[in-house]
Amino acid sequence: MNRKFAWLLVTAASLFACLATADESFSAEAAAELAATLQSYRTYQADFIQIVVNETGSRVQETNGRLKAKRPGLFYWEVNQPMAQFIASDGERVSVYDPDLEQVTIHKLDQRASSTPALLLSGEVRNLAETYRVSERQFGDKLREFTLAPRNPDSLFVTLKLSFADGVLQEMRLTDSLAQLSILSFSNVRLNQGLSDSDFTLDYPEGVDIIRDEG
């Protein structure tokens, strides 16, 4: 399990080989378009496959799982293979359960982590242009790709690409400072279906170690 990318998602593209119909330049209009699309997601649920590619283009890892997000601030991430991991956020704290370590770690969702991909699905997005430079490309009538470059030089990632089909998020591509690419492809996407707050709590057995890192 790529724990670094999992943390980025709490603390998600070349899908289409065709020519873009719009110039890929950063603009406030692109940020507003992306914000409007994401704001329409009251809840988002999907299965995913995550592939990690190193700087030489070699695939180094593949995992699968599912995620759930609900505004405001609720997020749940579950990886099944090859190593189980469960992450949940209530908008203020992030709890990570690692069954293999028999350990739960609770982090405070600080300012640095609050500008990460997970918050695009569960957090406040109306002021995207204040946090990211955003560009947009359109492929035909239904396919769109947004590229986000963080304004904060200490961000946890360098660029993030979001690919949509008919307004539904299909893929995230995240590049970090070491030129490692993490590709998150979604399937069985369910938008705006009912989710209760209890769907975003971690379920773990008694007796596991609980580590609080909320400084």
User: Are the CB atoms for 192 and 42 separated by under 8 Å?
Assistant: yes
Residue 22 has pLDDT above 50, yes or no: no
Q: Which residues pair with 106 in a beta bridge?
A: 95, 212
User: Are the CB atoms for 134 and 145 separated by under 8 Å?
Assistant: no
- In the DSSP assignment, the letter for residue 82 is S
Model pLDDT for residues 204-213, shown as the tens digit of each residue: 999 999 998 8
User: Are the CB atoms for 109 and 96 separated by under 8 Å?
Assistant: no
In sequence order, the 6+-apart residues with CB closer than 8 A to the CB of 198 are none
Which parts of 73-214 are beta strand (E)?
A: 74-81, 85-89, 93-98, 103-108, 132-139, 143-150, 159-165, 168-175, 181-191, 209-213
Delimit the domains of the chain by residue range: 3-13+23-193
User: Are the CB atoms for 184 and 170 separated by under 8 Å?
Assistant: no
Residue with tokens 């749940």: 76
CA distance 167 to 176: 26
Q: pLDDT at position 108, please?
A: 84
CA distance 163 to 159: 13
- For the chain, the first-to-last Cα distance in angstroms comes to 26
CA distance 23 to 111: 32
Residues 125-134, mean pLDDT to the nearest whole number: 88
Q: pLDDT at position 2, please?
A: 52
Q: Please name the CATH architecture into which domain 3-13+23-193 falls.
A: Clam (2.50)
Model pLDDT for residues 91-101, shown as the tens digit of each residue: 888 899 999 99
